[in-house]
Structure 1
């Protein structure tokens, strides 16, 4: 295959978010939790295309934060797609003798295989231009691809300009092109804005190539979704639904059980092992990895985390953490970033774990906060335990050894260490180190005053209603 690493790309990303009713540029609207332009960035990276120039408009700084690896130019006036590419003339000049892809930053489903295969056709046929097309059952609104007797593209006819015969054509322009850079630079100089909108259209380059007797090829994509974009929130919802369904089908084909797809959303970077069951309301985001034979959900959100084999996670939120095998947590558990739960750990309802390591077979049953802590094996936390990690200025760690028992309603004031095998009496507030195998009691001694309550009632009289 031709070496795409020597090719470059221009991404058209100057559209604002007005029709989206958004303050952000349109390309930053998300499909499955990822900005649309990042889908294009992933595709270019998979192709090995590293030299990319984004054409940006209002909100350029926000887009640059999303794709910092791209160089960029600004399109100060919105005068059409051809005008957008004109802004990248200096970028194109530095790539004379090569080839350049032009893609839309708001068409997230352009995939690497389509882009690679279009490039193969472009090089094989020695074309000046190769465009990507798609076949739609309902092509209304799209520019139609008109081919000559040899099968080359002779023109792109927009919906408003098409006659009845042309309107019957179902092959449409997907908005992605490969150009010979030398030809493109010359063609940009020939573009004219002699149309009702007063804009420079990149599609007019097709006619320029045909007039010069240059070859214009069309690569028909296997998947028509490559042409799909979004101009408003309804369109964005359609893209999300299409992407969601594709991800569900990918995991079903890989042996994942989805009992009911209601509310199940899985991002493209997620990996799920065989025989894992995903229950309704489960949202898996980022680079999450789920092992085999797990039960995830219902009503669970996991982001950028690793979950080992055989785990059960019920109604939880887990962020940027690692769970080893055979862990059971939930319902209503929050595992915050930088936590590591080791094999056999059990976390119950209304427990929060943050920036902590909890070793094997430890149980944190309910109503407990474990923050900035290193907890050993076989530890039992009673209800209402708090590792008090923040003094109002700095945060400190709590260290708990193996085989400890932490009684209910205990406060462990960090920095503090509880030695292995120790027992913390319920209701204690621990401020000093507890040695191994010790009992620590840190609470006021109980005082009983017989008859005190009766005497009080007699003194105060009947209770007011």
Structure 2
């Protein structure tokens, strides 16, 4: 840390219009997670915890966002690529004050500085906006975000003076018995004026851990005659962090409730919100109905009038208007057009594109294939690497044999085609418009438009075979099959 500086300039407060820079502290090891994955990258409802802090900063319109990394820095930085953030490394874990300084060196200056934490994803945009308004209205130099807990064990306590002013923050280890009974705790979230980096340079490490604590900024601001205040919020869960898997699960539960309530208030029906998992990145239009146990993940998008059946799973899937996804269907990277229906027990894999009015029934799997308007694949089919024309019917048990052991090949099936049940289409193959494929056929050559392909072996019936076979069966087996003795007697 640098030595104390003699002059720290005063700042005229300019209100919420001042530029805002955000430092996200995300260098912690998180050993209690007991994981090879860095703590900050454990997910809560579709985002790594640290990405929630970045999103909060973006929602506030931050001029610059600096993420301070340390443990697992390369992984954390890779996960946040493309989010327009700057990184600062804290190579040595010397405390929150030291981490803040690492980040502050990347700031342009001349604006307010907000400190957030990479393992505290619950802070809402509304709360942070309210904190900014309070900070400006009170002309504060430093505002600390606080809340109350009946038992605030583990947190630093807020010590107030006779008139309610914030005097200091006392850490748990250094607190007296009276101070330990205080219920107002320090969240660690601070909003400060542009003097914060210079004052942070004055923080010392004269403590048992020999670390530099960001909490010391409060007393430093007061020593320089600056106004310090606390912004106390009613819901302490907003500043809840996750140090182990139990706390992580509790965060996910709280976040899921918030996400589900947001969708319901926007016009989405959730039959059972407590069993419905929706990630924050999912978009759902009004008048969508989601049945219990459904899982919607990634960048899935569900249009108005559609329904998602019980225990179905959507990942990065686009659902058009008035679509029915029936129970226990799995869709990943698929597009389902208006008025189509899928399932139950269907699987649409990446690249599956269904046009309007397509019917995909139970135990049908589709991969990297387009089904044009009105196609019907009722049950028990595999359609991979195929284009299927409008109004074509795919019979039960049909498969496109698309893999030769080395390469994938495509099937081109025209419009108005009828594929009989238990047919195998060996790609690459083309079937022309209005063609027929007889049930049970193996098709390895192109079928012209309007033709019928029959690819079966020649059937041969062997008369009397059953009587000769069953006559050789032992009497013990025959006794287990009561019908057999009667049938054999009738044949003699």
In the superposition, the TM-score normalised over structure 2's length comes to: 0.86
1:136-175 C-alpha deviation (Å, 9 max, x unpaired): 4543432222344665532112334444554454332222
Aligned equivalents of 1:361, 1:325: Cα separation in 2: 11
Alignment partners' CA distance in 1, 2:162 and 2:396: 79
**1:52 aligned onto 2:65:** yes
Give the root-mean-square deviation of aligned CA atoms.
2.5
Q: Which residue of 2 aligns with 1:256?
A: 268
Aligned to 2:237: 225
1:214 corresponds to 2:226: yes
Name the SS for the 2:106 alignment partner.
helix
The residue aligned with 1:273 is 285
How far, CA to CA, are the matches of 2:26 and 2:343 in structure 1?
43
In the TM superposition, what whole-angstrom CA distance separates every residue of 1:193-219 from its partner, at most 9, and x where no partner exists? 122222111001111111111122323
Q: Is the 8 A contact 2:379 2:397 kept in 1?
A: yes
What is the match of residue 100 of structure 1?
113
- Please name the residue that 2:126 is paired with: 113
Map 1:126-137; keep pairs closer than 5 Å: 126-137=139-150
Aligned to 1:75: 90
Q: Which structure 2 segments of 5+ residues have no match?
A: 1-14, 478-492
1:352 matched to 2:365? The reply is yes
Contact 1:44 1:50 (8 Å CA) reproduced: no
**1:365-376 alignment, distance < 5 Å:** 365-376=378-389
State the match for 2:299 in structure 1. 287
Q: Does 1:386 align with 2:399?
A: yes
Contact 1:309 1:324 in 2 (8 A): yes
CA contact (8 A) 2:46 2:280 kept: no
Which residue of structure 2 lines up, in the alignment, with residue 342 of structure 1? 355
Larger mean CA deviation between 233-242 and 152-161 belongs to: 152-161
Q: Deviations over 1:287-316 (max 9, x none)?
A: 222233433221111112122233222101
Q: Secondary structure at the match of 2:88?
A: strand
SS at match of 2:330: strand
SS in 2 for 1:173: strand
Q: Distance in 2 between matches of 1:413 and 1:222?
A: 65
CA apart distance, 1:452: 5.8
Question: What pairs with 1:116-195 in structure 2 (closer than 5 Å)?
Answer: 116-148=129-161, 152-163=165-176, 165-181=178-194, 183-195=195-207
Distance 2:234 2:317 in 1: 34
Match of 1:19, SS state, is helix
Larger mean Cα displacement after TM superposition, 312-321 or 428-437: 428-437
Pair member with larger Rg: 2
Among residues 411, 425, 429, which one is paired with 2:438 in the alignment? Answer: 425
Tell which deviates more after alignment, 192-201 or 264-273.
Answer: 264-273
Please tell me whether residue 416 in structure 1 is matched to residue 458 in structure 2.
no
Give me the whole-angstrom Cα distance separating, in 1, the residues matched to 2:188 and 2:250. Answer: 19
**3-state SS of 2:460 partner:** coil
Superposed CA deviations along residues 222-247 of structure 1, whole A, max 9, x for unmatched, are 64332111111111111011112222
| Contact residue 98 and residue 212 of structure 2 kept, 8 A | yes
* 1:22 maps onto 2:12 in alignment: no
Q: 2:454 pairs with 441, 451, 454, which one? A: 441
Does the CA-based 8 Å contact 1:134-1:226 persist in structure 2? Answer: no
Corresponding residue number in structure 1 for 2:247 = 235
- Partner secondary structure for residue 448 of structure 1: coil
Q: What are the superposed Cα offsets for residues 406-426 of structure 1, whole Å, 9 maximum, x if unpaired?
A: 111212222222222111111
**Residue 87 in structure 1 maps to residue 99 in structure 2:** no
What SS does structure 1 have at the residue aligned with 2:361?
A: strand
Check conservation: 1:330, 1:347, Cα contact below 8 A: yes
The answer on whether the counterparts of 1:143 and 1:173 sit within 8 Å (CA) in structure 2 is yes
Q: 1:261: Cα distance to partner?
A: 3.8
